Each structure stands twice: as C-alpha cells, then as structure tokens.
Homo-oligomer: A and B are copies of this chain.
Amino acid sequence: MKKKVAVVGATGIAGQQFLTALENHPWFEVVALAGSPRSAGKTYEDALKTPSGQINWWQNEAIPKKYKQMVVELATELDPKKVDIVFTAVESDAARELEPLYAKHRPTISTASAFRMEDDVPLLIPGVNTNHVSLIKKQQANRDWQGFVIPIPNCTTYGLACSLAPLHKAFGVKGVVMTSMQATSGAGRNGGVLSLDMLDNLVPYIPKEEEKVEIETQKILGTLEEDQVKDAAFGVSCTCTRVPVTDGHTETVFVATDKPAPASEVEKAFREYQTGLEGLPSAPKDFYLVHDDPFHPQPRIDRDKDGGMSTHIGRIRDDKVLSGTKYVLLSHNTKAGAAKGAILIAEYLCHTGVI
C-alpha cells in the first residue's frame, strides 16, 4: 500500500523533477498536483502549454502519462489531509505562505529556502545529520502543528556538507575554503541564465549563494544539544561561480583539519563512512563515489551515475597551506540537491517510522 503524496509547484522545473522521480516510486503515489492560479483548473498537460505552442517540459524523460490528465489544484486550496506527504517545489516567498498550510496537518518536504534557518527546523541530509530529525517535535510543539516542514539545503550546500561529514568525524574540520562551478539549471528557467552569459564565458558571482552555503553548512554539521542545533564552529569561505554546464555542481574544496588528514586516510574516511541508508529506494549504492582517475569527476560524464544521488569525490591531495586536505566534488544539483534529495528524506522518515 503506497503512501499518497502531493506535489506543489508541479509545473515548474523542480516540480517536474519530482514527478519524474516519483513516476515509478515503490513507496509513494502522486495523487494530487497543485500550482499557481495560472495552472489551477487545467489538466497537467494543458498547464504546461504556452500560448505560442511550446510545451514547458524540461526533463529528458517524456511527461509521465499518468499525470497528463490530472487536474492541477490551486496551491492555496490544496487539502493536505487527503495525502500522507506534501512535496513543495515553489519559490521562497510562496513557500513561506503555503508550507505552514500543509505542515499544520502533514509532513511537508520542501525544496525552498524559506524555513531553512529557523531554529526549530532541521536542515536534514539523511546519512549526514540524521539525528537533527528530532527537532521535529520541538517544531510541532512550537507551532502547534500535527505535521512539520523539512527543507532540503541549497543545492551547492548539499554536496559540500555531504563531503565534510566524514572529514569532520574523522579529523575535525577547522575551516573550509570552497570555489563552486555551478550548473545553469540551478537558476531555473524563469529569469534563468542567458546563453549570452554562458557561451565562451563564465560568471564569477551568484547573488546570495555564498551566504547560504556558509550558514547552511554550519547548521547541517552542527551538533544537537537539548533540541537545539549548535552551529559547527568552523568557518566557511566561498566563491560561487556559474559555468557553462547544464547539470552538476563542481566544487573545489580546501579543508583545514584538527588532526592530520593524509590523502590515504581521507579516501578511507569517504569509503568507510556508514550512512545507514541501506534499503531506501533513492539511496545511491555509493553515497560517496571516490574517483582514482584525476581527470574525474566531470559533470557531463559522471553526474547521472547511480541515479544522480552520489556525491563524487576526486583529486584528494594533502593541503599544506591549510594543514589539511583538498579535493574536488561533484553533486547533481537537480537530483541529489533537489527533488530526489527531498524524496530521500521522505523515504528515510517513512523507514524510521516518523511518517
């Protein structure tokens, strides 16, 4: 008996990723789609059409047939009680308004940033900071909700935080210097990155991105003390850039560590890290996919391996300037760092009886 789920923001790019990932999901069945007034009342197929005849569907997979004739509901009027879980894929402003409506009654897993930094909201990555899930009780008590909201991190934070978890455990992280080379899909399609900026070019700035990465990473790797997350003490300094890649964020990471972190030990830490995600449908075989070939990871070649859910690690080397280690990571920003990452959270919560 599958759990019933709703997808809010179903016609957007992140919503489409949810639908594609959920099409044949063994545990979840999409029974409701919701969207803005522009889409509400139309069949899903019609809601994707533009006046000029273009079909606004941007996944490489075709539109799953099962959704084409479903009627899109108005997001503000969606009744969360008719489903078990709500997945939201809307902009931050809309999330701030809509998610409490759903979370009052049901678990709500969100790709939006609206609630990420609230004290009683876990910024959860299963396998990385699983114990933060206990914040949910505090959240329900604080807000008098029967459900709750759990947002996923920013897609750039996601890979960085994943990669730091084994290092923080094994060596103690003292400081992080990171440069991202981010895919253009991260910017979506409305107000997305223009090709004029991405042909024979790169852009060394993504508004608000660096701040998010810095504070979210500290929260995710923070320790839970009496239902409070105490931020990790290490600093994070980053420069986020946009490069001509469709999917897959690459990050060069330099880490200062408390204990010596020779490359062989670092590699071992990644290979031996236990995530406890075995058996979850969206969990990758290798949570960390360590590359020996120094020319990898490469975004186009590696991003889709293992369902796009692995954090790829390559070029592990000692760092003498920071007295620590350095490496290159690749993370799929529209899979692991977006809809599929949110689905993995839901799977984890179901698996552990929280939902």
Contact = CB atoms under 8 A, between A and B. Distances in A.
Contacts of A60: 300-301, 304-305
B295 A196 contact: no
B237 A322 contact: yes
A201 interface: yes
A328 B240 CA distance: 10
A199 B200 CA distance: 6
Contacts of A53: 293-294
Interface in A185-236: 185, 189, 192-205, 207, 235-236
A207 to B, nearest CB: 6
A31 to B, nearest CB: 27
Most buried by B among A189, A296, A300, A328: A300
A220 B72 CA distance: 49
Interface stretch (A103-111, A115-123, A244-252): A244-252
Contact of A245 (B52, B194, B200): B200
A6 interface: no
Interface stretch (A138-146, A176-184, A269-277): A176-184
A197 to B, nearest CB: 7
Interface stretch (A162-170, A313-321, A337-345): A313-321
A74 to B, nearest CB: 27
Nearest to A293: B55
Interface in A40-58: 52-55, 58
Interface residues of A, number: 62
Interface string A86-127: 000000000000000000000000000000000000000000
A199 B198 contact: yes
Given A177-B177, A196-B58, A243 B246 contact: no
Contacts of A320: 235, 237
A298 interface: yes
Contact of A254 (B198, B237, B245, B305): B237
A205 B321 CA distance: 19
A205 B252 contact: no
Given A196-B185, A246-B196, A298 B54 contact: no
A18 to B, nearest CB: 18
A192 B189 contact: no
A294 B50 CA distance: 12
Contacts of A297: 204
A205 B328 CA distance: 10
A326 interface: yes
A198 B198 contact: yes
Contact of A204 (B196, B197, B207, B252): B252
A175 interface: yes
9 contacts: A53-B294, A177-B322, A179-B252, A198-B199, A204-B295, A204-B328, A205-B315, A237-B321, A237-B322
Query: What 8 pairs between A and B have smallest CB-CB spacing?
Result: A195-B198, A200-B200, A237-B321, A179-B179, A201-B300, A235-B321, A239-B252, A204-B328
